[in-house]
Amino acid sequence: MERYLDEELTAMLHDLESKQEERILSEKRQSKNVPFDLRPVYQATIKDLSRSYFEDKYLPMAFAIDILEANTRSYEERLAACKMIVSADDTTPTFLGLMAIEKNRVFILAERIYNFYESTAPTKSRQS
């Protein structure tokens, strides 16, 4: 009988470990599921974003003047805090950054949106 309890305990511990591993894997998958507008656009660079529009128009509309005056962050850190780029270290623009403050919105963003829809649209081979 003691052996049966040991086997039962081992099975229960194995089930708990499997559930824990499954939860960790699920969390890892979910962390990669970012909304469309926060995905990086690797074909664009920080130079495609309008610094003057961001600093002169966007920030004053988004934050109170006293907050902006007290803020000592760099340009890249401000962009990252507003989700316009991936991070202060990785200055790749996000779709949000391109939609909000891209210099040539018509060209880069339109092309990216077209490519996105083109890649997700069902084709004849996918429908069969």
The pLDDT value recorded for residue 1 is 45
Q: How far apart, in whole angstroms, are the C-alpha atoms of residue 43 and residue 112?
A: 9
Q: How far is CA 37 from CA 5, 25, 45, 49, 125, in A?
A: 53, 24, 16, 15, 29
Q: Is the pTM for the entire model greater than 0.75?
A: no
- Identify whether 87 is part of a domain: yes
Q: Are residues 83 and 115 in the same domain?
A: yes
Q: Are residues 42 and 58 in the same domain?
A: yes
Q: How far apart, in whole angstroms, are the C-alpha atoms of residue 61 and residue 9?
A: 60
- Which residues, including other chains, have CB under 8 Å from residue 103's CB and lie 6 or more apart? 48, 49, 50
Domain membership of residue 67 as a residue range: 35-122
The pLDDT value recorded for residue 4 is 55
Q: Are residues 28 and 43 in the same domain?
A: no
Q: Are residues 23 and 44 in the same domain?
A: no
- Identify whether 128 is part of a domain: no
In this structure, what are the phi and psi dihedrals at residue 45, rounded to the nearest 5 degrees? -130, 170
Query: How buried is 118 (Cβ within 10 angstroms: 0-12 exposed, 13-18 middle, 19+ buried)?
Result: exposed
Q: Specify the number of domains making up the chain.
A: 2
Q: Are residues 21 and 84 in the same domain?
A: no
Per-residue pLDDT of the chain (128 residues; tens, 9 = 90+): 455 566 776 776 667 677 777 777 676 666 567 888 888 888 889 999 999 999 999 999 999 999 999 999 999 999 999 999 999 999 999 989 988 898 876 656 666 666 777 777 676 554 54
